[in-house]
Amino acid sequence: MAERFETLVLHGTCKVKGNIKSKAAPIYQTSAFTFGDLDELEGFYHGEGNYLYSRVGNPNTDELGAAVAALEGAPAGVAASSGLSAILAGILAVAKNGDHIVAAEDVYGGSYHMLKAELSGLGIETTFVSFKDLKSIEGAITEKTKLLYTESITNPFLRVENVEEVVKIAKKHGIYTLVDNTFATPYHCRLFLEGVDLVAHSATKYIGGHSDVTAGVIVGGAELIDKARARIVNLGLNLSPFEAWLTCRGLKTLALRMKAQSENAKELAESLRDNRNVRKVYYPFERGEKGYGAVVTVELGQEVDIHRFFRSLGWVKIVPTLAGVVTSVSHPLKTSHRALPPEAQEELGITMSVVRISVGIENSGDIIGQFDKAIEMALI
């Protein structure tokens, strides 16, 4: 297989077996698969057949898991019903009741809530620390710790994780690493090749790329992915065939989309950095040969009325999520990080003035002009 990403993203998918050689993968929109007799049915349970019931496995979901795994350089991958489902399956592949997780304090709000509230109810405790301070990571590890959890680029302030050092700490203590690579995507960094045990994606975002699916993928070594797959099957976290097919179709343009969106994002970030009514711009400038992501977060100045700003955005859409090919904005305090305790919001700096921008593929001049106009119209 070709090694260059732009080729691999198009040709690194599963090859559907059969006599009908369709250029595009067919949609296996079926709840179950048929058998000729009881011997053939029994053969499935002995590894002689591929598919039984779509919750257990389906060619479309298998294609998606394998395709993202190939892009990350991982041996195996499995699709799930959402990014959180994929993260949950990865966590439960390595942790159980009585175990402990050390997580970055600045992760996505949904992940924070799942770790702090939902998993705590299952007897899996999480300690949140600043991953900027490597000593604080080591200081939080106990004999019960099984996993270090973080994001390659954090949400919403776009801190680029020091993955190499996180992996070193985990290996030193004999524990696993799980990193959410949603913001960066394999286009910007291939985390499994950097030593991360499990890599998660909210495929709803850039993997699918067109804001028309909800999906997740977890990739890693074959043994861990087998365990994650079992959690997906047994907890009903599976993805539907049609959404898997749509996600695979969107995946084929990942390189083109991320190149354009990352270039636009950097131009917008540079422009906003020069705007006297923007207090601070968060963007990982100069952090990668191909840019470093399509999200820009800003803290607006005190002279900008936040409500008027959101009402002045024109064709820029207000949404509670990110990615897709059109530029959109969200308000972390009121959406993605709403579930965080007020003290955590304050400590992280998530205030009314913080706006997260998901940059699309429009003309960069039009994007910059629209934000300049919205800021100008929102001045008090």
- Residue 366 sits in a domain of what CATH number? 3.90.1150.10
- Domains: count for the chain: 2
Give the E-state strand segments of the chain in sequence order: 76-80, 100-104, 125-129, 145-151, 176-180, 198-201, 216-220, 278-282, 295-300, 317-318, 328-330, 354-358
Residues 190 and 90 in one domain: yes
Residues 241 and 261 in one domain: no
Residues 221 and 262 in one domain: no
Residue 42's CATH number: 3.40.640.10
**Domain containing residue 143:** 5-251
The 8-class DSSP code of residue 369 comes to: H
3-class DSSP state of 124: coil
Residues 229 and 260 in one domain: no
Residues 70 and 212 in one domain: yes
Give me the long-range contacts of 65-69 (CB less than 8 A, separation at least 24): 65/217, 65/219, 65/225, 66/12, 66/13, 66/14, 67/12, 67/13, 67/14, 67/248, 67/251, 68/186, 68/201, 68/203, 68/207, 68/217, 68/219, 68/251, 69/217, 69/219, 69/225
- pLDDT tens for each residue of the chain, 380 residues long: 557 889 989 887 656 566 777 888 899 999 999 999 999 999 999 988 889 999 999 999 999 999 999 999 999 999 999 999 999 999 999 999 999 999 999 999 999 999 999 999 999 999 999 999 999 999 999 999 999 999 999 999 999 999 999 999 999 999 999 999 999 999 999 999 999 999 999 999 999 999 999 999 999 999 999 999 999 999 999 999 999 999 999 999 999 999 999 999 999 999 999 999 999 999 988 665 556 799 999 999 999 999 999 999 999 999 999 999 999 999 999 988 887 888 888 888 999 999 999 999 999 999 999 999 999 999 99
| Contact call for residues 292 and 264 (beta carbons, < 8 A) | no
Half-sphere exposure of 371 (CA within 13 A, CB side): 31
Residues 247 and 302 in one domain: no
